[in-house]
Structure 1
Amino acid sequence: MDITRKTPSARVRLPNGAEVLGLLAAFIGVMYLFLNVWALPIQLALFVSWFLVIGLGIRLGLGYESIQKGLLNGIHNGMEAVLVLITVGALIGTWIAGGIVPSIIYYGLSVMSPSIFLFAAFIICALTSLATGTSFGTAGTAGIAMMGIGHSFGIPMPLVAGAVISGAYVGDKLSPLSDTTVMTASLCRVDLIDHIKSMLYVSAPSALIASLLFLGVGYFYVDGAADTSRADAAMVALAEQFNIGWYLLLPTVAVIALLAMRKPSIPVISFGAVLGIVCAVLFQDMAALDAVNTAYFGNAMSSEVDFLNTLLNRGGIESMFGVIALVLFALGLGGLMDKIGVLTVICNGFLSWASNAGRLTLSTLLGGFFGNFFGGAAYVSLITASTITEKNYDKQGIDRRVLSRNAEAGGTVTTPMVPWSDGGVFMATTLGVGTLSYLPFLWFHFLVLIISLIYGYANIAIWRAGGHGSVPADESEQSLAPAKSAS
């Protein structure tokens, strides 16, 4: 029998509760084995998970052609994310070579003083992650420097780690260069800039309050006469390797301004990469061909400061291939789960309980946390946070910008809170502080979750979609009127 073509009498059904639980248990098992036991790439774990979903789809009566169409539809919906990641890789490589990122770090370090160290560490890591779009890269480079400087000041290491990780995740959550930011916007089918603007309602007050907390606590722990020689050494090394100048911050201003003006992300980021090449040629005395080459292979340099070598030897389109593969596998998995009806079943379960904006927000945050808890990675949590609740937002007429904001809060922000997640393992290993030790000091993360819940239950910044369900930003002007409770 040819199961790729179904006869009219063939029955295709939705999975029952036991089948959904079995699939989720198998998925969690695969993720745990691949990531924590065998230490294999998450890309392979997601690829193997495809076959779990395909197997259930066949059991439910779907043919291979129908299943493949669901997979391809999922990937097709996220192709913009792939193109953005390619341009982001080029941007990072050229911005480092052009002295743009080094200038940001230099001026950040220049504000360092013992009495405001924790505040400065938070701000420096936030600026670095906003400029590069990576929390891992920020923590593994500028974060390590902050840990060393904080140690010389006599500040408890868990507290320093809290400031570093909190700052690092500001950019991971908000930067248009962040792969998780791009992926969330893509999964939720929200314009990237609209997604970032929506997150600002929660992230801006969270970052402000967190920075004030770190500033206040710093005065109780830091000796005002402490040594700042490590920060001085990093600044000297940057000045030796690059021509530092305020004018090198202008490309950052230009790109952010264009994105804020709702210009398309891909050409704007590509334009930013070209500006990086121009800066490398004009201000860093780099040959034109070498400058262009950094767009693909990234920057290469050598200094006497190890953390600068790690921070500034990165970028390029080539560096994004692994992330691109991961995004494709994740999007394909989401498409498969939607096609066979798993997401519909879970969504219906949430719908009976999440009857108002507050509960809907809580269900999205829990979906993201469970993705990190059971799946062990931010990419998995973004899938669980967005896909299992998105239809409930549409049914309640709540704009998908609220969905994307909550998905990022529940997915990205909770990643370093789970000791066995990729974020938790990386932060603990890189910074030398256990997850449970730095957990109480992740003030930005806790504030994001708390403020998100307050907004949900108080109907603050809960917008109605333009008509029934979600309407993409490029197809219809969306209303910003607050949604009333659906209870």
Structure 2
Amino acid sequence: MSSSQSPARLPNMIEVLGVMVGFIAIMFLSINVLGLPIQLALFGSWFLVMALGLKLKMSYAAMQEGLIDGIHNGMEAVLVLTTVGALIGTWIAGGIVPSIIYYGLTVMNPQIFLFAAFVICALTSLSTGTSFGTAGTAGVAMMGIGHSFGIPLPLVAGAVISGAYVGDKMSPLSDTTVMTASLCKVNLIDHIRSMMTVSAPAILIASILFLVVGFYYVSGDVDTSRATVAMEALEANFTISPWLLLPAAIVIGLLTRRYPAIPVITFGAVLGSICAWWAQGIGPIDAIRIAYVGNAMQSDVEFLNTLLNRGGIESMLSVVALILFALGLGGLMSQVGILKTISNGFLRWANNPGRLTVSTMLGGFFGNFFGGAAYVSLITASTITEKNYDDQGVDRRVLSRNAEAGGTITTPMVPWTDGGVFMATTLGVSTMAYLPFLWYHMLVIAITILYGYANIAIWKAQPKTEAQDNANTRQNFQTS
């Protein structure tokens, strides 16, 4: 890179802190005072970073190049999101998601309610890839049922949010999962497999905790009529069948076998349209149209109305814009040297896998705390520490896993993030009230840090220079 494309010097820590304070002010005023979309706040932050770039004698053309590079590096997430929107809409219309919810509700029992709420929300989020959609549908129903059981609502909210973020963090349909894999330059399925080493024990322990506490709080003779009403409403509005679980099994199976995500998810959307036409009696043209506009219908049950009226490529456009602005901001911060300055600070301290893990997680929390969104946290977690992983020969699968643990997982734990605000508003419980019961989140954080300091599942990769030398050698050999 020529001098005209690089800043004359790296920004010092005071300048970086000045940009961060300005960023906080823009986010706070835009979202909390003016009520503007977070997309506009991120867009406005571009020019704050550009102002620092101009102070460092950097040309606008170079900054634009960094902005475009940042967006380009995350375009896979954008492409997957469009197919995921189609998938969600057709899977709801086709009865696939309703069948998953229905069979999840069949396990409902007062003693195991908290455990069931955790599992149902986990299954819902895994099948849809969205924590917000899960909390706004199955989660709302769980809050009502839990209230009738006499269980403290913060505890119910903890089970709901814990389950909702299982899929947000683990589902191949989740935008944050796809985005993290893209930012860290890791294969999507390899990223999920890496997270499983942490999430599997966290899910198991959280399940046991919710099960034990459920037996403590709930008596045996309580009213389960709300769960029955939800199941009856699902049966009244959909054809429910175990066969409708097959498309979900097929898609997950194909993704697990490392088939490309975009064609597989698109194929899943096609299966959803077929199910909508064949099993639910929707006309073939309308079944196809749902892939873009999403599913929409009205029932007498508010829970179903919230559940059904979503999905479609159209519903993802605002999320796509959010990702583009967040990626552009990350590219600008990288080009101007902000992330390099922060990374250099971490580099001097993070000299072993434990500190490397903590530095990445702090980067993620930093993004949530100052940026107010999971997308920002994933950029800060991955970008400011990725070079440290390469220099220490640690595989980037570890980076992507740690980025999710510090970014995605901590989002609902901060009251002013999009996740914190949404969960508190939707479930009617303040962030600080449900925070002590986010047991899955706390376990993921604790196990991730434990793995780092105990050197568990810290896979090694070739040092970057050696890998480059080997690649050059192979290229020369093939040329000769």
TM over 0.5: yes
State the shift of 1:374 in Å.
2.1
CA 1:287–1:6: 2 relative to 1, 3 Å: same
Aligned to 1:153: 149
Pair 1:315 & 2:315 matched: no
Measured after TM superposition, the shift of residue 6 of structure 1 is 7.3
Measured on the aligned residues, the alpha-carbon RMSD in Å equals 1.8
> Which residue is equivalent to 2:448?
452
Amino acid at match of 2:373: A
Q: 1:183 to 1:395 in 2, by over 3 A?
A: same
Contact 1:89/1:316 (CA < 8 Å) preserved in 2?
yes
Moved more, 440-449 or 305-314: 305-314
Say whether the 8 Å CA contact 1:396–1:469 is kept in structure 2: no
> How far is 1:234 from its partner?
0.6
TM-aligned CA distance change 1:138 to 1:258, over 3 Å: same
The equivalent residue for 2:351 is 355
Alignment equivalent of 1:20, drawn from 3, 6, 16: 16
| CA displacement at 1:441 relative to structure 2 | 0.6
Instruction: Name 1:484's counterpart in structure 2.
Output: none
Alpha-carbon separation, structure 1, partners of 2:173 and 2:315: 14
Change (3 A) 1:420 1:6: closer
Pairs within 5 Å for 1:266-415: 266-415=262-411
Residue 105 (structure 2) pairs with residue 105 (structure 1): no
Note if 1:441 corresponds to 2:461. no
The Cα offsets for residues 452-471 of structure 1, whole Å up to 9 and x where unpaired, read as 00000011111112442798
- Partner Cα distance (1:226, 1:7) in 2: 72
- Indicate the residue corresponding to 2:29 in structure 1: 33
Relative to the length of structure 1, the TM-score reads: 0.94
CA contact (8 A) 2:140 2:427 kept: yes
Tell me what 1:175 maps to. Answer: 171
Alignment-mate amino acid for residue 102 of structure 1: P
Question: 2:475 is matched with which residue?
Answer: none
Find the aligned partners of 2:158 and 2:376 in 1 and give their Cα distance: 24
- The equivalent residue for 1:483 is none
Worse overlay, 459-468 or 246-255:
459-468
Cα distance in 1, alignment partners of residues 212 and 136 from structure 2? 26
Structure 1 distance, partners of 2:457, 2:144, is 40
The amino acid of 1:400's aligned partner reads R
* 8 A Cα contact 1:89 1:315, kept in partner: yes
Aligned length: 469
- 1:249 match: 245
Q: Give the CA deviation at 1:190.
A: 1.4
Q: Comparing 13-22 with 214-223, which one deviates more in the overlay?
A: 13-22
SS of corresponding position for 1:436: helix
* Matching residue within 56, 59, 74 for 2:55: 59
Identity of aligned residues (%): 72
Could you tell me which residue of structure 2 aligns to residue 206 of structure 1?
A: 202
Read off the aligned partner of 1:39 and give its amino acid letter. G
Q: Which moved more, 1:448-457 or 1:366-375?
A: 366-375
Shift of 1:386: 1.3
- Pairwise CA distance, 1:378: 1.4
Instruction: For 1:464 and 1:11, locate their aligned partners in 2 and report how far apart those are by CA, in whole Å.
Output: 33
Aligned partners of 1:399 and 1:469 also within 8 Å: no
Q: 2:7 touches 2:53 (CA, 8 Å); kept in 1?
A: no
Report the Cα distance in structure 2 between the residues aligned to 1:397 and 1:411, rounded to whole angstroms: 23
Q: Which runs of 5+ in 2 are unaligned?
A: 472-480
Deviations 1:274-304 (A, max 9, x none): 0001111111111100100100000112111
**Structure 1: gaps spanning 5 or more residues:** 476-487
Contact 2:4 2:58 in 1 (8 A): no
Mark the CA change 1:471 to 1:117 in structure 2 (over 3 Å): closer, same or farther. Answer: farther
More off after superposition, 157-166 vs 177-186? 177-186
8 Å CA contact 1:6–1:63 kept in 2: the answer is no
Deviation track 1:291-330 (CA, whole Å, cap 9, x = no partner) reads 0010000011211110111011100000000000011111
User: 1:52 Cα deviation (Å)?
Assistant: 1.0
Question: Secondary structure of 1:352's match?
Answer: helix
Is residue 2:126 matched to residue 1:136?
A: no
TM-fit CA distance, 1:49: 0.7
In the alignment, what sits opposite 1:95? 91
Out of 104, 115, 121, the residue aligned to residue 119 of structure 1 is: 115
SS at match of 2:208: helix
- Distance, in Å, in 2 between the alignment partners of 1:105 and 1:470 is 50
Letter in 2 for 1:451: I
Of stretches 80-89 and 218-227 in structure 1, the one that deviates more from structure 2 is 218-227
CA distance in 1, matches of 2:282, 2:377: 42
Quick one: distance in 1 between partners of 2:170 and 2:340?
A: 29
Contact 2:117–2:159 (8 Å) recurs in 1? yes
Distance in structure 2 (CA, Å) of the matches to 1:392 and 1:428? 36
Structure 2 CA distance for aligned equivalents of residues 367 and 7 of structure 1: 29
**For residues 424-445 of structure 1, what are the alpha-carbon distances to aligned partners after superposition, in whole Å with 9 as ceiling and x for unaligned?**
1111111111111111110000
> Secondary structure at the residue paired with 2:461?
coil
CA deviation vs aligned residue, 1:368-399 (integer Å, no higher than 9, x gap): 11222222221221122111111111111111
Q: Name the amino acid aligned to 1:273.
A: A
SS in 1 for 2:111: helix
Deviations 1:171-203 (A, max 9, x none): 111111111111111111211111111111111
Contact 2:79-2:262 within 8 A present in 1 as well: yes
- 2:285 partner amino acid: L
Distance in 1 between residues matched to 2:458 and 2:388, nearest whole Å: 14
**Who is 1:46 aligned against?**
42
Indicate conservation of the 8 Å contact 2:354/2:454, yes or no: yes
- Residue by residue, what CA displacement relative to the aligned partner does 1:133-180 show, whole Å, maximum 9, x if unpaired? 111111111111001000111111111111001001101111111111
Letter matched to residue 468 of structure 1: K
Distance change (3 Å), C-alpha of 1:380 and 1:469? farther
1:7 Cα deviation after fit: 7.1
Q: What SS does the aligned partner of 2:160 have?
A: helix
